Amino acid sequence: MHVPNKLPKVGTTIFTVMSQLALEHQAVNLGQGFPDFPVPQRLVDELARAMAEGKNQYAPMTGIPALRQAIAAKTARCYGRAVDADAEVTVTSGASEAIFNAILALVSPGEEVIVLDPCYDCYEPAIDLAGAIPVHVPLDPVDFSVDWQRVRDAITPRTRMLMVNTPHNPSGAMFTADDMAALADLLRGTDIILLSDEVYEHIIFDGRRHESVLRYPELAERSVVVSSFGKTYHCTGWKIGYAIAPPKLSAEFRKVHQYNTFCSFAPAQWAFAAMIVQEPAHYDELGAFYQAKRDRFREQLLGTRLKPLPVPGGYFQLVDYSAVSDLPDAEFCRWLTIEKGVAAIPLSPFYETPPAGQRLARLCFAKVESTLDAAIERLARI
């Protein structure tokens, strides 16, 4: 029997591979990006309350009204944009589903989608499944900034979508107000849709401001903005996210969503609705919480042969390992896991064409101090 291969470039995701390798070799897992500390107690209590009260059946396809209203109020509070909870907010089963829905709904076969490399590994498979063509534009290999002229040069009459990500995974780089102005200028007068992946929106450092697309009306009117409760509330396994888009884009987005997952875990939606309203201090203080972890981890890394790169946002630390090894990044991360007992993620899977000679690995510092201390003890011996 012939079995079609619709994703010939895709194997098992690097995050699964490295986590399995970490488990097999009892390595400290700083690879896959998940916290190893508890979710907020209020969230646990609200989840239990929702289940005990019988809120266990299908949620409305777009998300329960209380959660969509809480998201709309939070968006106005954080970014100054009023959004219609009924027509512009859709709750999804994680940010990855929202990204998949947006591409499948809004991009047609043969159209082009521009992505900025390195980019998260779910972007291109979704583009491929839509029958569209990914167009990779590399970021600066040192500071991961965008050369907007290169993006402009990549636009053709077939360009349908541009995907951006700030704070950026894997580098932690963030857009500035100048980037947003350049982005608006680039898209002005076109029919290009902007898909903005903002899942680390509250994990920002050093007094910087998250330049959400939602702050900029000209951009918001052509955008799908994706967020993640898992990243904000330390519960990646709950897989709840959401998308904010103008009514016409949301209507198309929901056509795919309703036949993809239809709805998402109902008790968690009730819990998030309560958490957003009752404890806004959580997301207000999240940057400071993670900045303390970043600063402590960076200081510890200075005692190793790994060179930490700047991290403006997100919970990943890139390290330059060129003083340790000349191995390509995937081989180095495998060696580090098996021989030295620390799992990291190579950068090459985030690229179409990795920069020649790049020697970088990604470490996750969304961990308790004892986990990071155990990793540092092993890294100091290499």
Q: Which residues contact 90 (CB under 8 A, 6 or more apart)?
A: 62, 63, 68, 98, 242, 243, 245, 250, 253, 254, 257
Return the pLDDT at 11.
82
Q: In the predicted model, what is the mean pLDDT of residues 347-374?
A: 96
For residue 13, is pLDDT > 90?
Answer: no
CA distance 209 to 176: 8
Q: In the predicted model, what is the mean pLDDT of residues 318-327?
A: 97
Q: Among 358, 326, 118, which residue's Cα sits nearest to residue 335? A: 326
Domains, the chain, ranges and CATH? Answer: 14-39+284-379 (3.90.1150.10), 41-280 (3.40.640.10)
Return the pLDDT at 312.
98
> pTM value?
0.96
Residues 93, 56, 256: CA angle, nearest 5 degrees: 30
**pLDDT digits over 117-174, tens only?**
999 999 999 999 999 999 999 999 999 999 999 999 999 999 999 999 999 999 999 9
**pLDDT digits over 276-302, tens only?**
999 999 999 999 999 999 999 999 999
**pLDDT digits over 304-317, tens only?**
999 999 999 999 99
Could you tell me the strand order of the sheet in which 360-364 lies?
Answer: 307-308, 316-320, 360-364, 345-346
